Structure 1
Amino acid sequence: MAKRQPTGFGGSARPPVVSPTVGNPPRGPDVLRRKVVGVLVAGQILGGVGMGATLSLGALLAAELSGSSAWSGMAATMSTLGAALLAVPLVRLAQASGRRVSLAAGSLLAAGGAVLAVAAAAGRSFPLLLVALLLLGAGSATNLQARFAATDLATDRSRAKDLSLVVWSTAVGAVLGPNLFEPGEAVGAALGLPLLTGAFIFSLLAQLAAAVVYRLGLRPDPLLSALAAQAVDQQKGESRAGAARLRSGGWEILRSNPLARYAVTSVALSHATMVALMSMTPVHLRDHGATLTVVGLTISLHVAGMYALSPFFGWLADRAGRLRTILVGQALLLASLLLAWHGASSQAAVTTSLVLLGLGWSASVVAGSALVAEAVGVAERPALQGVSDLAMNLAGALGGAVAGPVLTAWGYSGLGLSSMALVVVVIGWTGRRIGGVRRHDG
Structure 2
Amino acid sequence: MHIQARTKEHQESKTGKLQEWTAPGKQQQLYKRTLAIVILSQLFGGAGLAAGVTVGALLAQDMLGTERYAGIPAALITLGSALASFLMGRLTQRFGRRSGLAAGFLAGGIGAIGIITAAVAGSIPLLYFALFIYGAGTATNLQARYAGTDLAKPKQRATAISIAMVSTTFGAVAGPNLIGVMGNYAESIGVPRLAGPFILAAGAFTIAGLIILVLLRPDPFLVASRIAEAQAAANPSQNGKTQAGNRQGIKLGAAIMILTQIIMVAIMTMTPIHMTHHGHGLNEVGIVIGIHVGAMYLPSLFTGMLIDRIGRIKMACASGVVLLASGLLAAFGPADSMLSLITALALLGLGWNLGLISGTALIVDSTSQATRAKTQGTVDVLIALAGASGGVLSGMIVAQSSYATLALAGGLLSLLLIPVMFWSSRSSK
Q: TM-score, normalised by structure 2?
A: 0.80
Find the partner of 2:167 among 169, 173, 185. Answer: 169
- Is the CA contact (8 Å cut-off) linking 2:81 and 2:136 kept in structure 1? yes
Does the CA-based 8 Å contact 1:185-1:197 persist in structure 2? yes
Q: Which residue does 2:416 correspond to in 1?
A: 425
* Cα contact 1:55–1:75 (8 A) shared by 2: no
Matched-pair contact (CA < 8 Å) for 1:180–1:199: yes
Q: Which residue of 2 aligns with 1:363?
A: 354
Q: Is the 8 A contact 1:313 1:367 kept in 2?
A: no
Aligned with 2:264 (options 269, 274, 277): 274
Counterparts in 2 of 1:418 and 1:160: CA distance versus 1, 3 Å: closer
Q: Aligned AA for 1:404?
A: G
Aligned: 1:25 with 2:26 = no
2:396 — aligned with what? 405
Match of 1:77 in 2: 75
> 1:150-169 maps to which residues of 2 (within 5 A)?
150-152=148-150, 163-169=161-167
Which blocks of at least 5 consecutive residues in structure 2 are unaligned? 1-20, 234-238
SS at match of 2:194: coil
User: Is the CA contact 2:159–2:301 (under 8 Å) kept in the aligned structure 1?
Assistant: no
Q: CA deviation at 1:197?
A: 0.7
**Structure 1 residue 365 displacement after superposition:** 3.0
Residue 149 (structure 1) aligns with? 147
Pair 316,57 (structure 1): closer, same or farther in 2 beyond 3 Å: same
Change (3 A) 1:135 1:220: same
- Residues 174 and 26 from structure 1, CA distance in 2 versus in 1: closer, same or farther, beyond 3 angstroms? same
Q: Match for residue 54 of structure 1?
A: 52
Instruction: Report the 3-state secondary structure (helix = DSSP H, G, I; strand = E; otherwise coil) of the residue aligned with 1:26.
Output: coil
Q: Conserved in 1, the CA contact under 8 Å of 2:292 and 2:345? A: yes
Following the alignment from structure 1 to structure 2, what is the Cα–Cα distance between the partners of residues 194 and 222? 42
Which consecutive residues of structure 1, in runs of 5 or more, have no partner in the other structure? 1-23, 236-240
Shift of 1:308: 2.7
| 1:25/1:155 contact within 8 Å kept | no
Q: Distance in 2 between matches of 1:381 and 1:415?
A: 36
Alpha carbons 2:81, 2:381 under 8 Å: kept: no
**Mapped pair 1:299 → 2:296:** no
Specify whether residues 377 and 148 from structure 1 end up closer, same or farther in structure 2 by C-alpha distance, changes over 3 A only.
closer
Q: In 1, distance between residues paired with 2:108 and 2:134?
A: 4
Equivalent pair of 2:87/2:377 in contact (CA under 8 Å): no
> SS of 2:178's equivalent?
helix
Deviations 1:46-104 (A, max 9, x none): 11111113322111111122222121112221111111101232233344444444332
- Pairwise CA distance, 1:230: 7.2
Mark the CA change 1:360 to 1:97 in structure 2 (over 3 Å): closer, same or farther.
Answer: closer
Amino acid of the residue matched to residue 264 of structure 2? M
- Larger deviation, residues 367-376 vs 404-413: 367-376
Give the aligned partner of residue 191 of structure 2: 193
Q: 1:260: Cα distance to partner?
A: 5.5
- Offset, 1:191: 0.7
Greater helix fraction, Structure 1 or Structure 2 = 2
CA–CA separation in structure 2 for the residues paired with 1:186 and 1:351: 25
Shift, 1:419, TM fit: 2.2
DSSP-derived class of the 1:68 partner: coil
Cα distance change of structure 1 residues 379 and 213 upon mapping to structure 2, 3 Å threshold: closer
Give the CA deviation at 1:172. Answer: 2.1
Which of 119, 122, 138 is the equivalent residue of 1:121? 119
Partners of 2:250 and 2:409 lie apart in 1 by: 26
What's 1:353 paired with?
Answer: 344
CA-CA distance at 1:399 after TM superposition: 0.6
SS, match of residue 69 in structure 1? coil
CA distance in 2, matches of 1:310, 1:432: 27
Residue identity opposite 2:22 in structure 1: P
Which residue identity is paired with 2:54?
S
User: Partner letter of residue 333 of structure 1?
Assistant: L
Shift, 1:226, TM fit: 5.5
Q: Is the 8 A contact 2:154 2:365 kept in 1?
A: no
Cα distance in 1 between the residues matched to 2:307 and 2:158? 16
Distance 2:369 2:144 in 1: 22
Work out whether residues 53 and 179 of structure 1, in 8 Å CA contact, stay in contact via their aligned partners in 2: no
- Identical-pair percentage: 37
Sort the Cα spacing of 1:231 and 1:383 in 2 relative to 1 into closer, same or farther, 3 A.
Answer: closer
- The superposition leaves residues 91-124 of structure 1 with CA deviations (integer Å, 9 ceiling, x where unpaired) of 3334444444433222221111111111211222
- 1:312 to 1:378, Cα distance in 2 relative to 1, 3 A: same
After superposition, the Cα gap between the structure-2 partners of 1:360 and 1:192, relative to the gap in structure 1 and judged at 3 Å, is same
C-alpha distance in structure 2 between counterparts of 1:227 and 1:368, whole Å: 22
Please give the alpha-carbon distance, in whole angstroms, between the structure 1 residues aligned to 2:96 and 2:309: 37
CA distance in 1, matches of 2:99, 2:147: 12
Which secondary structure does the structure 2 equivalent of 1:70 belong to? coil
Tell me the secondary structure at the aligned position of residue 191 of structure 2: coil
Residue 321 of structure 1 and its aligned partner are, at CA, apart by: 4.5
Q: How many angstroms apart in 2 are the aligned matches of 1:46 and 1:132? A: 20
Distance in 2, matches of 1:418 and 1:155, equals: 39
| 8 A Cα contact 2:90 2:373, kept in partner | no
Residues in 2 aligned to 1:424 and 1:158: alpha-carbon distance in whole angstroms: 29
TM-score of the aligned structures, taking structure 1 as reference length: 0.78
In structure 2, relative to structure 1, the CA distance for the partners of 1:47 and 1:371 (3 Å cut) is closer
SS in 2 for 1:197: helix
Aligned to 1:20: none
Whether the aligned pair in 2 keeps the contact of 1:285 and 1:347 (CA below 8 Å) is no
1:109 is matched with 107
Aligned mates of 1:432, 1:105 — CA distance in 2: 38
